[in-house]
Chain A
Amino acid sequence: MTDLFLFQLRRVGRNKQYLFFTVLLPALFTIFFTQVIGGQAPAGEFQDLAGAVLVSMMAYGAIGAALGATIRMAFDRSSGWLRQLRVTPVPAGSVFAVDVLVGALLVLPSLVVVALVGRFVNGVEFGLGTWVALVGSLWAGSVVFVALGVAVGLALDAQAAGAAIGILGTVLAALGGLWFPVEMFPDGMVPLAHALPSYWFAELGRDVAAGTFTGAPVLVLAGYGAVFAAAALVVARRRPLHAVAG
């Protein structure tokens, strides 16, 4: 399985669009939001704001990385590659497992790069334990979006899947309060934000960063994770990976 894993990793690594949207863009946003908005903040509030932007952008990058890596399954099905693999001795189940694993692993560079930018460009100061807990908890929580990406990737054909990566990532980020905090939302949109897994994902990060850990984000995320995983299983049964597209 190692060879298949490295093979898939190398393929995603060659996709410049993926690297741009999951690593470079969240890093640039981290600098942009902090310096532009934070430039007008009173000196005492700058740290809080830089910390909040950092957590939001880590969440944004992680969601994009998890969705982007897993929805790619749709491309491999539409191209016929998964059917082709099916008629070789490569075990069918390992292909699926590797895609999930690659999706989960690729969240990490996105989280780490944004964290480094937050620390060294924006001067966010957490203790080492907090940094590790922040990256670790968001990495673990990103499994929810890996499951969502698998469900979507299995359900859609290549073209729709390509669009879904961008649309889902944008909607989850914008409406979940990752680009602009929910406190800035009009009252009517707050319940919507609170209904999205992206909000609770960032909330998990905020809790860990502030050291005020409550169980709520974990419970909500676990619920979403279970729903997405169940959806993925249902779709997988209806549209096997090796089925002809359409």
Chain B
Amino acid sequence: MPETPALDVRGLTVRYGDVTAVHDLTLAVPRGETVALLGANGAGKSSVVNAALGLFRPAAGTVRLLGREPTAALQAGGVGAMLQHGGLPSEARVGEVLALVRRRYQDPWPLADLAATAGIGGVLDRSVDALSGGQRQRVLLALALAGAPPLLLLDEPTSAMDVEGRQAFWATMRDLAGRGHTVVFATHHLDEADAVADRVVVVAGGRVVADGSAAAIKSRIAGRTVRFRCPGPRDGLSGLPGVTSTGGEGDWVELATSDAEATLRALLAGHDALPDLEVRGASLEQAFLHLTSTADGALR
């Protein structure tokens, strides 16, 4: 019999009033896997994480964490989470907050090691109100790790961290993953997903638009945009080699391409002048749009 997945989301639909943030999303994460939910802002990543944690009731679908209902799994101490809108209590010391949460776990992470891992050893006696943004984020990490839980759900965990903080954070995550913990994190940084995750699930418009190894996803969304002014007719641009979509406003033409060199050669051969020509890396938003419009998702 196969082991219960660490995270099992089936047919999840989340609505806020008339807006549907997540459409019939299904995602299973086996134990021990490190998965990035990659998507632009507003793609629905946070809604997936929050619904998975039972913070609101989804319009449809089921969520199981380690085989249990979200609230039961959290109460049992099997899950640690960092929220995008999580916070710390005013007028409390860091050590007190940590103690309050640690003692709820049967087998909490030893305090000294936990503080060192989260990088908050020096601020345990400090008031929460006196912490910097990065320090607050590390305290929130310590709370997520307090029970050394088998499953970690992290929503944009490094958003308030500086470069060093990020590196230390991901080193910790890789270490945890190496010890068999399941780590699921939402991010809008392709490089973070690439550096840490075994598997990248791309979310756009509340749907999974791609799901595969980091390398496979990267090759698919690492496209280029070719941009230039073109007051005249634009016939045939979409048929140029490598071009996956065309757009632009006013005089501007924007071509998304999977092979910038081939596209440029063909363009230059066919045009005497290409005023204000630019070639740029496609933004993640463009890459996601491209994936949404062309792919049915499954890469594996």
Residues in chain A within 8 A of chain B (CB atoms): 3-4, 7, 10-12, 14-15, 75-76, 79-81, 83-84, 86-91, 242-244
Contact = CB atoms under 8 A, between A and B. Distances in A.
B53 interface: yes
Contacts, number: 73
Contacts of A14: 91
Contact of B88 (A15, A79, A86, A87): A79
A80 B83 contact: yes
Given A80-B85, A83-B85, A244-B85, A88 B101 contact: yes
B74 A87 contact: yes
B182 to A, nearest CB: 16
A42 B77 CA distance: 69
A76 B90 CA distance: 8
A89 B76 CA distance: 6
B40 interface: no
B87 A79 contact: yes
Residue of A76, A79, A89, A242 ringed by the most chain B CB atoms within 10 A: A89
Contact of A7 (B86, B100, B143, B146): B100
B132 interface: no
A89 B87 contact: no
A91 to B, nearest CB: 7
A91 B104 CA distance: 10
B52 to A, nearest CB: 10
A79 B90 contact: yes
Contacts of A244: 85
Contacts of B74: 86-89
Contacts of A3: 99-100, 103
16 contacts: A4-B100, A11-B90, A11-B92, A15-B91, A79-B87, A79-B90, A81-B88, A83-B87, A84-B87, A87-B86, A88-B146, A89-B76, A89-B101, A89-B105, A90-B104, A244-B85
B87 A80 contact: yes
Residue in A4, A15, A88, A91 with the greatest tally of chain B CB atoms within 10 Å = A88
